[in-house]
Structure 1
Amino acid sequence: MTETVVPARRANPLWQVGKALILLVALVILLGLGTWQVERLQWKEGLLADIAARKDAPPVPLSAIEAMAASGGDIEYRTVTASGHFLNNKERDFLATYGDEPGFYIYTPLQLDDGRYVFVNRGYVPSDAKEPEMRKQGQLTGEQTVTGLARAELSGQPSGMPDNDLAKNIFFWKDLETMASSVGLPKDKVLPFFIDADRTPNPAGLPIGGVTIVDLPNNHLQYAVTWYGLAVALVAIVAISWWRKHHPDAPSQ
């Protein structure tokens, strides 16, 4: 009669305890990651709801956005209104798309009554209308009132973003200081944020306003389900293994 030899590692109580601890730690990590994603989901949903409320709120005067920015408040997507004169000969053009169509967003300085400036994203023009002479009717003159969304300036060049081409007036990222200096505006006279103009009808058709895109991916529910699913799978595997070990004669399904 052949005697069954039990491997020493399997018979060792310390190995069994160690294996149980490893499984427990793995389960805790999976559950922790799932819970973290649920918390992120709640945070992201709250943020999106806050942005929606800001966009739908009545516009506030430019001074309110200035005060908020000066105090370190979050000005992003807050509805604001401002009045002044567009400096059409100092626009800066940003490579962009509108739907699937390539083109540019036109950022034009708005000179305020107190002599300061704020860059306004007036909206989209197709590539063949980049040059101002191709859309002269859209070069609004006289006192203009702009309503739109406040947008914070960037702290630096985003990773992987090309350098702005000043010679061709083609910008890839919003470098406010360079935008101002490249058209001769003194840095201390330019407000430290932008305004994305709304879709108020332009008699000339171009630029097309209201181009702000709120793109905040919200995949946290999917991630939470994945981590919790892995935790359930781990428990199921351990349970099946335990059952087979203690019921070796049970029929397999």
Structure 2
Amino acid sequence: MLEVDLNCDMGESFGVYKLGMDHVLLEHVTSANIACGFHAGDPSVMRATVRQALHKKTALGAHPGLPDLAGFGRRNMDISPDEAFDMVTYQIGALQAFIKQEGGVLRHVKPHGALYNMAAASKPLADAIAAAIHGLDSKLILYGLSGSTLIQAGHQIGLRTANEVFADRTYQDNGTLTPRRLSGALITDTEQAVQQVIRMVKEHVVVTTSGKSIPIQADTVCLHGDGTHAAVFAAQLRTRLLEEGITVKAMD
């Protein structure tokens, strides 16, 4: 039986927390990646997001990023593996504290933005991130770009991993995401995005920007929550997956 997890980045706001898109998205996704204060979020937002996710029985994940609020963690920084290890440890530990106080359990870790992309290609950074996670809790699941160096690092150290694919992003022939700065990086047509996900889950392939079909493993699908129609798309995608006989659930 085919099954897939739907995850979404959440808690990426500041100050007085208002129920908004996160609250609606939690009706449709199965895993929440909660910002830990470096690229977005703050203590009050972290706690409020944890409470919302627990109320909806959504699996909780840490979403550590680079310390770059102005750039939303999407700009590369020249950091060492030791710095990556400490950044990830610090951010996971902060979120774990809120989750423990609210009576929940941290289930997974997904790096954010530039840190995610850098670790997808750099073995030293990937190894450092995987080691930080493993040192905190070897039962945590590491989310990473499908087939990437980060996934390999997780396997090597003994972590469970989730190969992540993207509904609204296009792919290059080497399996990486098309950089956001390039035209065609984002898929704005809902039906195209849905069809891409269904094919990745059922056929284990994705069509790149050059028209080439390449193999891909889809354990979890990232839905970006900052789009105007994010909640509508999440609902449509979940419905279509179920119609295709694909179970939508968080990884055990």
TM range (shorter): under 0.3
Larger radius of gyration: 1
Question: What's the TM-score once normalised by structure 1's chain length?
Answer: 0.22
User: Normalization by structure 2: what TM-score?
Assistant: 0.22
